[in-house]
Amino acid sequence: MLYPAMTAPALLEAPAPTRLWTPRRVLVTRSAAERPHGQRVLARLEAAGVSDVELLPGDRLPSLRGDDDRAAFMAAKDTMALVVPPPSKRRLQPIPPSADFRLDLAEGCPAHCQYCYLAGSLSGPPITRVWADLDEVLDGLDSYVGQGRITSGTLERGGEGTTFEASCYTDPLALEHLTGGLARMVAHFGTHEWPGPVQLRATTKFDDVAGLLGLPHGGRTRLRFSLNAASVGRRFEGATSRVDARIAALGAVARAGYPVGLTIAPIMPVEGWREEYGALLDAVAAVLPAGTDLTVECITHRFTPGSKETLLDWYPRTKLEMDESRRTPKRGRFGSVKHVYPKETMAELRTWFEAALADRLPQARFLYWT
């Protein structure tokens, strides 16, 4: 059996989290410490027993580079920085195909996924930077409502209203016990008087959902769980919650009335992939109450020359398949290259997933395949 049998807990109860990140070092800039959200984060860090918290005299972070690249990488992954981002970060950008706008709580992630998409997106040491200006960002969102061009106005997703993606460059639930930022966003989206319909979106590989279950979410937040075949989760998703624990958390938030979603990613045609992904879908179906508002997003594995180089530096012993000769190059608008599965493999995967989803999760709304 690929996933243990699970019984549904009582309404608004969640299993104890299986993994909570404790940074070994926290750097706090002066401006961040002065912000209300920064002060709330500092209080949570103290409550969590984080002892190495350094209040900096200014707003510049010290260099985290070192002579030993591997040691510097590990030190950076164990470091959290509480900062105020530059003003340019407050101008929200579209994030296709997920949402109209990207709404960041942080940049960086404490997990050790050996296929990490951030490897090709963020520069510098991979520390987790938490933004301290959350209150100002939330206060400025009204002006974006009705201005979306990605999901807004489309036949398939126009009913969601203006969509905001909170997990483009981080996993917000991985940080929630230290920041409280996701809960604050959920409550704001659920209770604020908006000038039009809106939806907050977040996806996670963690399971610490207890603090979200009783929030006044108003059905305006869709919590999605990034899930994969059992063997992929075991081999390549280090320092995350177990896949079965994420499935249990998915069931808990669905029972709390949240719209929910599956982000099946990155899909890999590993040995026995039909059986493994079939077991995954069956396990999801078993925990969802009747009438659950469920979406599915399917993302196949891909890599770029830059991300491959970075990932091999980070995880030199990885068994992750990144062989260009087994892939097809896909070129972007500005000359960028991604190595994706060949057309025949993509067609086989997509055909199977579309049929399996219709059979096992017939209530699900399929958003996209990429």
Comparing C-alpha atoms, which of 22, 44, 15 is closest to residue 245? 15
Joined together, the tokens standing for residue 96 give 């296709």
Q: How far apart are CA 288 and CA 6, in angstroms?
A: 11
Arithmetic mean of pLDDT, 90-100: 95
Residues 6+ apart with CB under 8 A from 351: none
pLDDT in tens, 39-81: 999 999 999 999 999 999 999 999 877 666 788 899 999 999 9
pLDDT in tens, 175-203: 999 999 999 999 999 999 999 999 999 99
CATH class of 20-204: alpha beta
Kindly state the DSSP code that residue 197 receives in the 8-state scheme. -
Q: How far apart are CA 19 and CA 16, in angstroms?
A: 9
> Given phi > 0 = left and psi -120 to 50 = alpha, else beta, which region is 124?
left
pLDDT at 4 exceeding the cut of 80: no
- Between 334 and 248, the more confident residue is 248
Per-residue pLDDT band at 233 (split at 50, 70, 90):
very high
pLDDT in tens, 132-166: 999 999 999 999 999 999 999 999 899 999 999 99
In the chain, where does DSSP find H-type helix? Answer: 30-34, 36-47, 69-77, 134-139, 172-179, 181-191, 230-236, 243-255, 273-287, 305-314, 343-360
Of 47-61, 77-91, 117-131, 315-329, the poorest mean pLDDT is in: 117-131
pLDDT at 307 exceeding the cut of 90: yes
Domain extents for the chain?
Answer: 20-204
Model pLDDT, residue 3: 44
Model pLDDT, residue 10: 40
Q: How far apart are CA 313 and CA 70, in angstroms?
A: 8
Residues 6+ apart with CB under 8 A from 214: 12, 256
What is this structure's pTM?
0.93
pLDDT at 276 exceeding the cut of 90: yes
- Rg (Cα) of the chain, in Å, rounded? 20
Comparing C-alpha atoms, which of 181, 238, 232 is closest to residue 211? 181
Model pLDDT, residue 15: 74
Q: How far apart are CA 242 and CA 226, in angstroms?
A: 11
In the chain, the amino acid numbered 245 is A
Model pLDDT, residue 332: 85
Q: How far apart are CA 295 and CA 160, in angstroms?
A: 12
